[in-house]
């Protein structure tokens, strides 16, 4: 079952992945050339990003059940992953050196991409997938948070292969939707408007990243301590039956 909370978190994580300091300044370089050739290029590139992450989620959903973890075992593993992800999001300076190095690589690739032809939708879709791939290490903590949500949920439920593929593609697809939205939006801004909005976006990214990190850290601790189960029981008692039926149907 895909919980609305997990889908919401995946959407926020995807949104924040594109607003990372090592990705955000490069959007005009990566998408500007494509937009000059095809006014619909950013939309197709965003769709390519969504498709890439949906495929990644489907692959993860297929592979994960093959490990054969017991739900109780993976619950602990998932809790530890959540705590680690929370710490990574709260301590971004750990990755500063790697990101500075990788930003140079991304910048070079983005400049090369700006010289390619994007007159056809297929080229733009491919570009979206390529950008998702080369930006993934820079936005690693955000992608890790989405994968943690996915793998924890799959093993806790003992999902079948088909169900795992479907849930994986949906959850990572939602992550991709979140990642594509700011890229498409910012692609249509003028360079002046982009420069004006950039400081605000970076501040927003910093605040939301810390909030997401705190959330993962608290949830991981609650899961490790066993307090999460008691909290779930209490919250279920507060929800109306109609809402419970809707959640269980997802």
Write the DSSP symbol of residue 120.
S
Mean pLDDT of 39-46: 90
Per-residue model confidence (pLDDT) at position 174: 93
Q: Which residue has the higher pLDDT, 9 or 54?
A: 54
Instruction: Collect all residues with Cβ–Cβ distance below 8 Å to 89 and sequence separation of at least 6.
Output: 141, 142, 145, 209, 210, 212, 213, 216
The rounded distance, in Å, linking the Cα atoms of 240 and 226 is: 25
Structure tokens at 127: 């570009």
Q: Which residue has the higher pLDDT, 210 or 149?
A: 210
The rounded distance, in Å, linking the Cα atoms of 238 and 115 is: 57
Q: Which residue has the higher pLDDT, 238 or 53?
A: 53
Q: Is the dihedral of CA 166, 214, 83, 74 positive or negative?
A: negative
Instruction: Collect all residues with Cβ–Cβ distance below 8 Å to 54 and sequence separation of at least 6.
Output: 169, 170, 172, 173, 176
Say yes or no to pLDDT of 246 above 50. Answer: no
Per-residue model confidence (pLDDT) at position 118: 75
Per-residue model confidence (pLDDT) at position 201: 79
pLDDT tens-digit series, residues 129-150? 888 887 776 777 778 778 777 7
Nearest to 22 by CA among 33, 30, 34, 12: 30
Mean pLDDT of 199-205: 80
Q: What is the mean pLDDT of the chain?
A: 75
The rounded distance, in Å, linking the Cα atoms of 140 and 177 is: 17
Say yes or no to pLDDT of 195 above 80. Answer: no
Question: pTM score > 0.95 for this model?
Answer: no
Band of pLDDT at residue 96, cut at 50, 70 and 90: low
Say yes or no to pLDDT of 39 above 80. Answer: yes
pLDDT tens-digit series, residues 141-194? 778 778 777 766 655 555 556 777 888 888 899 999 999 998 898 888 766 777
Structure tokens at 181: 């939205």
Per-residue model confidence (pLDDT) at position 213: 82
Q: Which residue has the higher pLDDT, 207 or 242?
A: 207
Say yes or no to pLDDT of 73 above 60. Answer: no
- Burial track 131-159 (b if 16+ CB lie within 10 A, e otherwise): bbebbbebbbbbbbbbbbbbbbbbbeeeb
Q: Which residue has the higher pLDDT, 241 or 18?
A: 18
Residue 201: what are its φ and ψ, rounded to 5°?
Answer: -65, -40
Q: Which residue has the higher pLDDT, 174 or 6?
A: 174
Q: How far is CA 221 from the centre of its chain?
A: 22
Lowest mean pLDDT, pick from 54-63, 77-86, 111-120: 111-120
């Amino acid at each position: 079952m895909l919980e609305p909370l997990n889908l919401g978190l995946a959407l926020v994580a995807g949104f924040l992945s594109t607003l990372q300091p090592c990705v955000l300044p490069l959007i005009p370089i990566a998408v500007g050339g494509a937009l000059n050739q095809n006014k619909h290029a950013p939309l197709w590139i965003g769709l390519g990003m969504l498709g890439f992450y949906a495929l990644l989620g489907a692959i993860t959903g297929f592979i994960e059940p093959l490990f054969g973890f017991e739900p109780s075992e993976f619950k602990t593993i998932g809790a530890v992953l959540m705590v680690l992800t929370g710490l990574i999001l709260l301590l971004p300076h750990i990755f500063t050196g790697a990101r500075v190095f990788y930003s140079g690589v991304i910048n070079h690739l983005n400049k090369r991409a700006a010289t390619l032809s994007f007159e056809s939708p297929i080229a733009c879709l491919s570009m979206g997938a390529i950008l998702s791939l080369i930006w993934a290490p820079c936005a690693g903590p955000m992608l890790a948070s989405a994968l943690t949500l996915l793998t924890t949920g799959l093993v806790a439920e003992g999902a079948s292969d088909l169900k795992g593929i479907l849930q994986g593609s949906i959850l990572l697809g939602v992550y991709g939707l979140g990642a594509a939205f700011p890229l498409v939006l910012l692609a249509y801004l003028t360079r002046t408007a982009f420069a004006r909005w950039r400081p605000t976006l970076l501040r927003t990214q910093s605040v939301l990243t810390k909030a997401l990190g705190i959330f993962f850290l608290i949830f991981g601790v609650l899961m490790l301590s066993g307090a999460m189960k008691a909290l779930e029981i209490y919250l279920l008692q507060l929800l109306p039956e109609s809402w419970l039926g809707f959640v269980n149907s997802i």
